[in-house]
Chain A
Amino acid sequence: MSERILSASAALAEALHEEMTRDETVFILGEDLTAHAGIFGQFKGIPEAFPGRIIDTPISETCIAGCGVGAALTGMRPIVDFHFSDFVTCGMDELCNQAAKIRYMFGGQVNVPLVVWCPDGAGLRAAAQHSQSLEAWFVHTPGLKVVIPSEPADVKGLIKSAIRDDDPVMFFQHKRLFAREGPVPEDSEFLIPLGRAAVKREGKDVSLLCYGSGFFICMEAAQALAREEIEAEVVDLRTLKPLDMETVASSIRKTNRAVVVHEACLTGGFGSELAARIQEELFDELDAPILRVGARDVPIPFSPGLEDFVLPKSDSVIRAAKRVCYR
């Protein structure tokens, strides 16, 4: 099956087209969707192709999330657009207390096949309230799945699996990555199963475990490290929950060293969880402490200079990788 070069936005739009064509219960719900096909152009062509199945809502995330949960309960497969992941706090009860727990509370009589689509991340000078990476909150909520694609092909393969999944899925897509291009399979059945990580660069010296924007930082770092004869293996986790510990483990068994990289701030971030799992399950495989690279523990600053200072960069990854390689 052939591939084309598409942006992440285009890959998402293609996947949505395919899934909405395939299944008439799939529909999109959110603010300001029809006039501009989403603020990042991510729903391009959909308002025209599927009139009535992409719905503009009032500015109330509580309402949007509630509608999504209700629709999912009645047999639809809604995709809820949260506009900015930062607004998710207004739908917290609907997502964490309802969507996450309903199947459990009703003894499995109902499913909540809901996709919560959340553009997240910093770097757009959008300040503290529009720049967060909040995945750890949802990883900490049993009942939710958490998916974070990096490359355009992952966006397509993962959103399709998320839509077809019968449980609520938090789908975080980094705002700065919408325009990033990459090869995307044309196949309308191109699915990436949830809970499967990908080794995107092989190496023997250190495992860089990452997802979302962290993946690109790691690839850049890996290239620089290769010039210093450190071969980094880049593992794109893609799904944080369920977590593909098997791929993580086989990589660490090879390299004996791990650096966890994410854009979210360090304390209580997913890196802490992953580092804990690794030391629990792979203690005897480790030749060095597990290091974490993440944003500093502050609100993301509006000032460009300060924002750049706060966010992790490939240099931070290079430093950490060298440290665990004792170089």
Chain B
Amino acid sequence: MKLLTKSNIYTTITTVLLFAMGIFIVYQVIMIRLDSEVDEQLLSTKEKIVKGLSDGISPNEYLANIGQKIYVRKIETQTIFGNQFIEYIEKDPKDPSSDGDITQRELLFQTAVNGNVYEVTICNSLTEGKKIGDYIAVVVLIFMVISVIILFLLNRLISAFIWSPFYDTLTKIKTWNIKKNEVLNFKTTDIDEFHLLNDTVKDLTHQIQADYHNLKEFTENVSHEAQTPLSIISTKLELLMQQDNYNDKQNKLLVQIYNATQRMHKLNEGLILLTRIENKQFVETSTIELTHAFDEKIEVLEDFIEAKQITIEKHYNKQITKEVNPILLTILLNNLCINAIKYNLEEGGIIRITVDEDSFSVENTSYIDKINRQFLFDRFNKNSISGSLGLGLSLIKKIVDFYNWQVTYSHKDGIHKFKIYM
């Protein structure tokens, strides 16, 4: 969830709650006020009635305050002393079928005047007052809804404005590429925190970039500088091996040293190749037809395919020509095909090559299980069985990246599939 949305949600909820509480309180206050107003009126009527009764005027002749009804009846003994206020709701007597209930508030009291005991009920309708209260509540509610909407929009605008440098920074960090050697320039901001953030990010990226370049240079230098001593070691070894007078133990040692040196060579070559792709040293392109390239590759690898009795299935659905560097394409197809052969079943495996409009894939049966995907294309993530250098897949990835293609790996029913989207 976006920061703006989140903060907006909280503000809106708070505002709505506050307004709801406000309406409730206002409504209650109005109602209490209304009741006490009515009670005062009832009491004033009571005074008039008591006075009238004592003056001997027939109770029915008293005019009550407007909207009041008075019921007086004679009783034997006084049971109630003081005033009793009762509130109840009844159906509208004029129109009992309607929904409009009428709220009544009445004052009941008994009074002894001139030896007679009277029970008096003064009835006052609250409906008008209640209606006014409801109107007020509705008006406040409408006002509240409008306020919330305005606040919500305003909040959004202000937040978007305030947070814009932050989002700018975020976008720039996101698109920042360590390999591109670019310096980050952020929007100037007068908010201290954002200013600090920008400065920190700038320092950090600068530091990371410097480290990255140092490291890169170091690896490059190491592999380049290692070439000459490695050549010397292996040449001298070959010369040493030319001698005849070794015993078996010495022979074995020599072979082991020689094998390790060869391995080191291959490794170094691979690393240099990776660096050269990274440094964009393969820029010349020529037009290559993909299915031809695959056919050529299979022909070259014929010996190995035959040795394992691998069946090659070709699904060339389209003839695709690409403007690519021939060396890079060769390395790419080489690695894909060699892996498919190397890790195939010892006998009777299948390799399926598919070429489509915008993708091509190499599928193969294999004696190894599904490969852990997470580090699949990392350097030196090698299959322990194969004794390989662990650079093949990382070379594939490098070349695919170089052309902004995509490579995916999937495994289904014992078949490994590497698919490249162009």
Q: Do A and B bind each other?
A: no
Question: Which B positions have Cβ atoms within 8 angstroms of A?
Answer: none
The chain A residues found within 8 Å of chain B, CB to CB, are none
